[in-house]
Homo-oligomer: A and B are copies of this chain.
């Protein structure tokens, strides 16, 4: 590895723009674009992701709360569920979620496939059941044929449904942010202020939790290390999964990729702006009061983490048939 880098450096010697060795030791790595993927599953999963018929009302799809036009989230403090129920927690972004150590704020799903079945059957979210969702899909010949083509199965089950949705979600990677361009050697990709923000992000300790390819998403940490965090919500975090008192208020560290688009912030969505989020994180997690200038520098750095957003054709869904169970939006 060292040899390779020296070699690269010698090849690039004399160029001012590219200097890969300078970033070789950074605690944040550039996002790798999507590599191996099952494209047939992706195309099916994209339809399912956008299909509100997986909800009881026929109105709510995965994309309702993880909106791919808006950073893979709904930009609400907490989400709106069936019958306009107020959700208990902020909808995390689906962008780059395949890089997470586990899914949900409390990590109760091991991976995207395990996650995908949750909201469909949650009475406060899509309020359907897996049986109902399958009945809907099996009543639609175009879906039956596509499941047969993709999974070689005559009987659709929730297993194929969540597998296809998860495979689609794996494509929702956002490479090529300005910060990644800088990591990859383009020194001009960041302004001096943004670079100062990054240095401050590292020297202040933010990097201790927000690191790696996703700049977070790879550990659980207590919300409120130095000072306790006051939340209007009741979420207990990891303790709800492990049953251990020591895990109370431990939440999965959110990715900071595309953080400019994924407002509002924290598991309860109570920080509306990046400025607020940086200020609160500094005080509660690090015992630091950032000056306005420091805060602005860190925010400037964070905005360089916005990558190429998912780019795809809006899917067209196959129509229901006379046999499709009708949606029940009211009552």
Q: Which residues of A contact B (CB under 8 A)?
A: 50-53, 57-59, 64, 67-71, 74-76, 80, 83-84, 86, 260-261, 263-264, 272-273, 275, 309-317, 319-320, 322, 326-327, 329-330
A316 near B260 with CB under 8 A, answer no
- Smallest beta-carbon distance A299→chain B, Å: 10
User: In the docked arrangement, what's the CA distance between A234 and B57, Å?
Assistant: 23
User: In the docked arrangement, what's the CA distance between A291 and B53, Å?
Assistant: 32
- Smallest beta-carbon distance A188→chain B, Å: 23
Q: Please give the count of copies of this chain that the complex contains.
A: 2
- Smallest beta-carbon distance A242→chain B, Å: 31
19 sample A-B contacts, Cβ–Cβ < 8 Å, listed by A number? A50-B69, A52-B74, A57-B80, A58-B76, A59-B64, A59-B76, A68-B314, A69-B314, A71-B319, A76-B327, A80-B329, A83-B84, A86-B329, A264-B326, A272-B322, A273-B322, A275-B322, A310-B314, A311-B313
Give chain B residues whose Cβ lies under 8 Å from the Cβ of A326: 264, 272
B319 near A260 with CB under 8 A, answer yes
B57 near A320 with CB under 8 A, answer no
A74 near B58 with CB under 8 A, answer yes
- Smallest beta-carbon distance A271→chain B, Å: 11
Give chain B residues whose Cβ lies under 8 Å from the Cβ of A311: 313-314, 316
- Smallest beta-carbon distance A321→chain B, Å: 8
Q: Which residue of B lies closest to A318 (CB)?
A: B261
B309 near A312 with CB under 8 A, answer no
B59 near A80 with CB under 8 A, answer yes
B69 near A317 with CB under 8 A, answer yes
B74 near A59 with CB under 8 A, answer yes
User: In the docked arrangement, what's the CA distance between A67 and B320, Å?
Assistant: 14
User: In the docked arrangement, what's the CA distance between A322 and B278, Å?
Assistant: 14
Give chain B residues whose Cβ lies under 8 Å from the Cβ of A84: 83-84, 329
Q: Which residue of B lies closest to A47 (CB)?
A: B69
